[in-house]
Amino acid sequence: MRIQASLGIISEDPLLRKDLSIFAERYGFSAQVSIAPQSWKIEDLERYNQISCWLVDEPFFDLASDELAQYIADLAVPVILGLEPFSREHELREREFSFLIKKLIQHLHPNQSNEVFDIWVLAASLGGPEAVKEFLDALPQDIPASFLYAQHLDEVGSKALADVIGRDAKLPVVAIDGMCELAPGVIYKVPVDSSIDFTNGVCFKTGSAWQGEYTPSIDELLRRVSFTYGNRANVIVFSGMGEDGADTAKDLARRGSLVWAQSEHSAVSDMMPKSVIEKRICQRIAAPKDLAMLMTAYYKNTGIS
């Protein structure tokens, strides 16, 4: 589920206003108002009152009229003050965007829900789509967990992946684009073109490249999921080449998370599952369909629904 919000931008700097409009569009917000302080008009009050959150730059109080300053001070909606121009260097700018979206989500989505559910990373590479599809097809619709499917793939192949794995699954498949609220009983396809991060129950694209040899980086994804969700972050390692995710999976197991793996004999490529199996950290090792049956039984036995 996307977070719907309209943003108001007040800045003397036209470049900052442009960057903030790009930022809003990327994450699915509407930049309904984008003005310099001098352009604020009392006649437009009805339009201003439709704004969900205001983004205001550093020089605002030096340039704003008393009337505008009082209007901003009296607002009941969130106001993020003191914004400065973004860096023109791409990676630094993306980190600044990421910092701002976290702050914005915390204001607009305070995570008031009492719903608590597990997050499972489905980690795969060569032979992964077939294995993950078999696993997902066997899950019931009411499974009380959320799934992040991280498949090593290039961007072209990634675009068709959601349709392939969701064709016969009982759970909906959502490609993470911009940001979305995580919910149980949903499969989220992790993007290859950008790393993702989490805050207040929301997952968002950072705009920065994945670190390391693979895209997406399963090690990086597991670190971020574990940092946010603690021992509610779990992983299943499916068929694949290499050992991406193995070291971080060991850290997760140490913190009380569940680490499961596809059996070596059922995998097209056994290197990835073997890399975690050999660390002796796996509570369950089975073929994909059997892993789905084991997960269904696990949640039935623990009484989580």
In a domain, 17, yes or no: yes
Separation between Cα atoms, residue 131 and residue 291, nearest integer Å = 10
Domain count, the chain: 2
Residue 120 β-bridge partners? 147, 234
Separation between Cα atoms, residue 272 and residue 249, nearest integer Å = 11
Q: What is the mean pLDDT of residues 27-34?
A: 91
| pTM of the predicted protein model | 0.88
pLDDT score at 160: 73
Among 43, 76, 108, residue at a domain's last position: 108
Catalytic residue among 57, 118, 197, 244: 244
pLDDT score at 302: 76
The CATH number assigned to the domain holding 63 equals: 3.40.50.2300
Domain identity same for 66 and 176: no
Domain identity same for 29 and 82: yes
Each residue's pLDDT tens digit, 234-290: 999 999 999 999 999 999 999 999 999 999 999 999 999 999 999 999 999 999 999
Q: What is the mean pLDDT of residues 148-172?
A: 82
Catalytic residue among 34, 125, 208, 226: 125
pLDDT score at 194: 94
Among 108, 140, 156, residue at a domain's last position: 108
Contact 238, 273 (CB under 8 A): yes
Closest among 105, 176, 171, 112 to 139, alpha carbons compared: 171
Domain identity same for 24 and 77: yes
Among 108, 135, 159, residue at a domain's last position: 108
Domain identity same for 21 and 126: no
What are the b/e assignments for 56-79, b being 16+ CB within 10 Å? bbeebeeebeeebeebbeeeeebb
pLDDT score at 111: 65
Higher pLDDT, 154 or 259: 259
Separation between Cα atoms, residue 247 and residue 121, nearest integer Å = 15
Q: Which residues of 116-176 form beta strands (DSSP E)?
A: 118-124, 145-151, 173-175
Domain identity same for 81 and 160: no
The CATH number assigned to the domain holding 141 equals: 3.40.50.180
Separation between Cα atoms, residue 66 and residue 88, nearest integer Å = 33
Q: What is the mean pLDDT of residues 126-155?
A: 94
Cis check for the bond before 216: say yes or no (omega within 30 of 0). Answer: yes
Domain identity same for 134 and 247: yes
158 is catalytic: no
118 is catalytic: no
Is beta strand 196-199 parallel, antiparallel or unpaired with respect to 202-205? antiparallel
Domain identity same for 255 and 212: yes
In a domain, 205, yes or no: yes
Residue range of the domain that includes 103: 6-108
Query: Which of the 8 DSSP states describes residue 303?
Result: T
In a domain, 1, yes or no: no
In a domain, 51, yes or no: yes
% of the chain exceeding 90 in pLDDT: 78
**pLDDT confidence of 1, banded at 50, 70, 90?**
low
In a domain, 224, yes or no: yes
107 is catalytic: no
Catalytic residue among 98, 118, 152, 263: 152
pLDDT score at 198: 95
In a domain, 279, yes or no: yes
Domain identity same for 97 and 123: no
